[in-house]
Amino acid sequence: MDVQWLKEQLKKIEAISDQQWLDGLSDRKIKELEFHDKDRDPSRIESLDQDTYERFYGNRKYYQGTRLSKEYVDDWIVKNCKDRVFLDYACGNGSNAIKAAQAGAKLAIGLDISRVSVENAKAEAKRLGLEDNTYFVQADAENTKLPNDAIDSVICSGMLHHLDLSYAFPELRRILRPGGKILAVEALDYNPLIKLYRYLTPQMRTDWEKAHILSLKDIRFAERFFEVGEVKYWHITSILATYMIFAFKFLNWLDRCLTRVPFVRLMSWIFTFELIKPLEEK
């Protein structure tokens, strides 16, 4: 894929007027846009007192226990981005696209429904001197308007549950080149304690998001469009590292053991799975 030509196609997406952009979104997507514009606004976050921050962003503290999955994802990005066109799909503030650009991606694209997120990502890429091989654009993940077979590798990090997979999976298949790979990183919808926490913190999520946390049935659905590669499970006990930092190494060791056990591993907080576009159409 010629990078300069692809940048021209991205400019066309970027040139869509605000009104035309909004007119093309369903009510569900407008709610997602508004939620994430607010959620990613740095000036809003900085203005919150401690109690309000905890109410809306208190779940962030648990991510300090996710080192094992984070290392796996970072390693996957490095292995699958060099000299390739890489897409950070629903990129948020663009951290994964920036990692890919730093690791030698020919072009690292980030797209997100939230304009605030896109502007945050652009600012960070500029700060790091990565403007030549990054491109961030506001777009609908279920209708990206990217060319067919344009993308070599995709990271979907914590965002598929924001989408209607009956649209997202066909769109990903369309834009991915034959043989191209996707890594999805998602919360898993089985652990009753985690489900209770989500129920008790509704302000942290949109209504759609709360109702569409992924499970293995979604992987079975993905098999209609992709070959499914490695599936891995993460973080049963390491969540407790937030309160037991002294036991972090032990909790990670325990998780390595528990996530090998069928059924027990379904209690994981997070799972990852690879999707591969077949070389020949099904």
Residue 101 to residues 92, 105, 282: CA-CA distances in angstroms? 16, 5, 32
- pLDDT confidence of residue 132: 94
What's the domain range around 188? 3-231+269-276
Contact (CB, 8 A) for 31 and 114: no
Q: What is the pLDDT of residue 57?
A: 79
105 in Cβ contact with 128 (< 8 Å):
no
Structure tokens at 5: 């030509």
Report the number of distinct structural domains present in the chain: 1
Instruction: Please report whether residue 237 resides in a domain.
Output: no
> What pLDDT is attached to residue 281?
65
Question: What local confidence, expressed as pLDDT, does residue 5 receive?
Answer: 94
Closest CA to 87 of 2, 151, 131: 151
pLDDT per residue, tens digit, the chain (282 aa), is 689 999 999 999 999 878 888 888 999 999 999 999 998 998 888 887 787 778 777 788 888 889 999 999 999 999 999 999 999 999 999 999 999 999 999 999 999 999 999 999 999 999 999 999 999 999 999 999 999 999 999 999 999 999 999 999 999 999 999 999 999 999 999 999 999 998 899 888 888 998 999 999 999 999 999 999 999 999 999 988 888 888 889 999 999 999 999 999 999 999 999 999 998 765
Q: Distance (Å, rounded) from C-alpha 117 to C-alpha 78?
A: 23
Q: Is residue 55 included in any domain, yes or no? A: yes
240 lies in a domain? no
Report angle CA 164, 165, 168 to the nearest 5 degrees. Answer: 95
DSSP for 58-84?
A: GGGGGGGG-HHHHHHHHHHHHHTTBTS
CATH number at residue 68: 3.40.50.150
Residue 243, domain member (yes or no): no
Asked if residue 247 belongs to a domain, the reply is no
Q: Given this model, what pLDDT does residue 282 score?
A: 53
Closest to 85 (Cα-Cα) out of 152, 149, 174: 152
pTM here is 0.94
Residue 44 domain flag: yes
Q: Indicate whether 258 belongs to any domain.
A: no
Question: What strands lie across the sheet with 270-276, from one edge to the other?
Answer: 134-138, 107-112, 85-89, 151-157, 176-187, 270-276, 227-234
Tell me if 84 is assigned to some domain: yes
